[in-house]
Amino acid sequence: MHPFNYYAPETVNEAIEILNKYGDKAKCLAGGTDVLVQARGEKFELDAIVDIKKIPQLTKLEWTDSHLIVGAATPCHVLYEDSKVCEVFPGIVDSAFLIGGIQIQSRASLGGNLCNASPSADAICSLIVHEVICEIAGPKGTREIPVEDMCTGPGKNALTNGEFLVSLKIPLKNSEFSASYERFIPRNEMDIAVAAVASSIELSNGKVSSCRVALAAVGPTPIFAKEASELLVGKEPTDENIRKVSEKAKDIASPIADMRGTIEHRKDLIEVLTRRTIEKALERAGG
């Protein structure tokens, strides 16, 4: 591994200063479950690693009137061991509970999963269907972007020099909102998705007032399937209407064929998983 220095700033501004000084020779360390593997594999040469876990807001959950704010470096287990998070956001917990095994979940964070920008990332689709806002800090101050704008290519994100992800803001919805995430893997645990889908549903008077579907491992980045999502809005969630959404999602998926699966298999999986996740979200929303 290329030798790097270790910094553990205690404030956001200190972190920005170090990241800005080293530019692309520095990376943030949250759980390290991607960045340390990549540094060791010499995907990049780092001169500095910036451990952001000593900055208090980076590892905590905060409930406000309008959002659940998740510190970007909060490990997965904190989410699924929190009974309120499980009750309010079971779709987020679906993802947190299946990233790696228990060892990985002790360290890996949703923020890290997002910044790593893998096309098959387990958390990103869930974040997209929850309309999560990314709070980013950098030399020019803070900015907010919708999570679906964060991934710009395989392993590439929208952060510029000196910037880092501070938190994920998950909007609170009414009681008739819920979501679900499912992936297909050839074994039960510890694998990378062949294809995966997250769906969210909000009901109002028996009709769907909002719907979001996002797809993973079927494009260069996780995909917000907007055109599929819109098909259900204003409609009743009947089998026929859900089928139209899942067929559209299948159309939108543009996978490659590789060792994990063929194009046809992946597209078929998207159709099935879209249907299942919408049905699950409906069940959870009480619809």
Which is closer to another protein, CB of 33 or CB of 210? 33
Q: Which of 15, 55, 107, 198 binds another protein (CB under 8 A)?
A: 107
- Measure Cα distances from 76 to 26, 42, 169, 281 in Å: 24, 26, 16, 21
CB 166 within 8 A of CB 12: yes
Which is closer to another protein, CB of 5 or CB of 262? 5
CB 90 within 8 A of CB 284: yes
The three-point CA angle 58-59-63 to 5° equals 95
Size of the site for another protein (CB under 8 A): 31
Q: Which of 172, 190, 233, 257 binds another protein (CB under 8 A)?
A: 190
Could you say whether residue 102 binds another protein (CB under 8 A)?
yes
Residue 137: φ, ψ to 5°: -110, 145
Which is closer to another protein, CB of 36 or CB of 263? 36
CB 201 within 8 A of CB 287: yes
Least Cβ distance, residue 133 to another protein (angstroms): 29
Least Cβ distance, residue 104 to another protein (angstroms): 6
Distance CA 264, CA 259 (A): 13
Residue tagged 């819109």 (tokens): 230
Distance CA 63, CA 252 (A): 35
Which is closer to another protein, CB of 41 or CB of 141? 41
Region of 173 on the Ramachandran plot (φ > 0 left; ψ -120 to 50 alpha; else beta):
beta
Tell me the HSE value of 90 on the side-chain side, using a 13 A CA sphere. 18
Could you say whether residue 47 binds another protein (CB under 8 A)?
yes
Which is closer to another protein, CB of 31 or CB of 162? 31
Which is closer to another protein, CB of 41 or CB of 186? 41
CB 211 within 8 A of CB 199: yes
Q: Which of 9, 20, 36, 287 binds another protein (CB under 8 A)?
A: 36
Q: Which of 10, 24, 37, 42 binds another protein (CB under 8 A)?
A: 37
Residue 239: φ, ψ to 5°: -55, -40
Could you say whether residue 74 binds another protein (CB under 8 A)?
no
Span interacting with another protein, options 55-63, 156-164, 182-190, 229-237, rule CB under 8 A: 182-190
Which positions touch another protein (CB under 8 A)?
A: 1-6, 8, 25, 29, 31-33, 36-37, 39-41, 47, 49, 51, 77, 100-104, 106-107, 188-190
